[in-house]
Amino acid sequence: MMSYPKDRRALRCARSRVWRFYNLSFPVVFAFLLPRFAVRMVRRGGYWRHFWERITLYDRSTRRNLNRVTGFRVWIHAVSVGEIFVALRFIEEIRRRKPDSAFVVTTTTSTGRAVAEKQLGGGDLVLYFPVDRPWLMKRLLRLVRPSLVLLVECEMWPNLLRYCTFSGTPVVLVNGRISDHSYRNYCKLRFMTRRLLPMVDLLCVQGQTDRERLLRLGAPSERTVVVGSAKYEVPAGGEAVFKVVERVLGGVGFRGRTLLVGGSTWPGEEEALVMAYKQLRPEHPELRLILVPRHVERTGEIRAMLESHGVRYILRSSVGSQSGPDDYDVLLADTTGELRGFYRWADIVFVGKSLTQRGGQNFIEPAQLGRPVITGPNPQNFPVVARDFRDAQALLVISDGQELFETIRRLLQDPALRQEYGRKALEVACRKQGAVRRTLEQIRSRLSLEL
């Protein structure tokens, strides 16, 4: 593990008495949140496998792999699926520049872990991020021995940063952003954030608003730089998933139809899409609807909704094994990892968590495939990206279910308009690339690392 010279301010912040308060209060807060976390584990599934990694207890194979690598090792923490794809893009570029690099990726969710395990090479490791306790972070740092720690978006845990500071391990925030909701919460904890942020050696953020917010929370101005969004460089999907989805669509009679895809949808959004579909189907008999909910465990409630509306549907997991009519209205994706494949074959895309919820999901993915994108009025999680698309008039923003219906109808009636919005979206996605390269150049020049 390399040692990076930390400045006095970082060391002073790492030794602050406020962390005693944090470490004493953490078990109380954790115990309060544990029931909700346990319910989530049961509902979403997949959490029990490798559960003990959350307290840094690893099997023999993992310990052997951790001990095997002695060269340049990068630890990347990415909380879930979206951040994992950003992490994978950084891994790809670092490995291109420095082929002998090895990577340890930590994540919080079972879906994030599944994606990382599928994409990473045999020499890399995927682990669950442990509970932020002092002895656990010290142990994991001692096992990983990172030459560099990259934190994706806004994952800054106090004990991780403190012990990276004590050990002289350089820490960089990549693709940094701070949402409206997070900023309001952090403002209440500024007595902690002004001691936390100086322990990060470099903060590479998506936009000027992110930079200004972090500066108000205590980030050093000379270390906080705007590089753009790395989401633009996440690949839009590979041929393997495209071919799998193509076979699925053929199996339910959807190939050659006009496909409306609702991606990463949240409660209420599926019903809005179904209601729009039912109104449009008589006018456009070739129209079919594909629903890809953000959380697969909601499949039961979505099925009940579909049945109440009297539409014929089939589950993605049943394709090839279930007999029935070959003229389904709706394909409900009750599996994970294929969203980009469905975007590939879509004619119109609605991206969720934006109509009935606040925050938004990533609409760069369908844009990279040249698809016209509809979103609700609440894409707060992607302010920089949303502004880029709005400035280029490459995004269709609707405010309610009626506007959703009217917008889909307009796109169905005018194929040239669909093509125009898809072209504009693709142009934005291509033009805004470069954040990964700019971030690595900042790391190389400011931290004197050979990247």
Domains 8-228+436-447 and 239-431 fall in the same CATH topology: yes
Does position 4 have pLDDT exceeding 90, yes or no? no
Q: How confident is the model at residue 451 (pLDDT cuts 50, 70, 90)?
A: confident
Q: Return d(Cα 174, Cα 110) in angstroms, integer.
A: 22
pLDDT tens sequence across 124-135? 999 999 999 999
- For residue 118, CA distances in Å to 37, 60, 121, 124 come to 25, 21, 8, 11
* Strand partners of residue 404: none
Residue 67 pLDDT: 85
Residue 42 pLDDT: 66
Residue 171 pLDDT: 97
pLDDT tens sequence across 309-343? 999 999 999 987 554 456 899 999 998 889 999 99
The token pair that represents 212 in the structure block: 């200004």
- In the chain, the percentage of residues whose pLDDT exceeds 90 is 72
Residue 154 pLDDT: 85
- For residue 31, CA distances in Å to 18, 26, 43, 160, 162 come to 20, 8, 19, 20, 23
Residue 321 pLDDT: 56
Count the alpha carbons within 13 Å of 443 in the hemisphere toward its beta carbon: 26
CATH topology of domain 239-431: Rossmann fold (3.40.50)
Residue 236 pLDDT: 54
Residue 41 pLDDT: 65
CATH 3.40.50.11720 fits 8-228+436-447, yes or no: yes
- Roughly what angle, to the nearest 10 degrees, separates helices 208-217 and 180-188? 10
pLDDT tens sequence across 350-371? 999 999 988 888 899 999 999 9
Residue 144 pLDDT: 94
Amino acid letter for position 447: L
> Which residue in 53, 83, 155, 233 is the catalytic one?
83
Residue 450 is a catalytic residue: no
CB 131 within 8 A of CB 353: no
Mean pLDDT in residue range 182-189: 92
Mean pLDDT in residue range 432-439: 95
- In the chain, the percentage of residues whose pLDDT exceeds 70 is 94
pLDDT tens sequence across 10-46? 999 999 999 999 999 988 887 777 777 667 666 666 6
Q: Which residue has the tokens 């994540």?
A: 107
Domain ranges of the chain: 8-228+436-447, 239-431
Residue 359 pLDDT: 84
Q: Which residue has the tokens 């942020």?
A: 197
Average model confidence (pLDDT) across the chain:
91
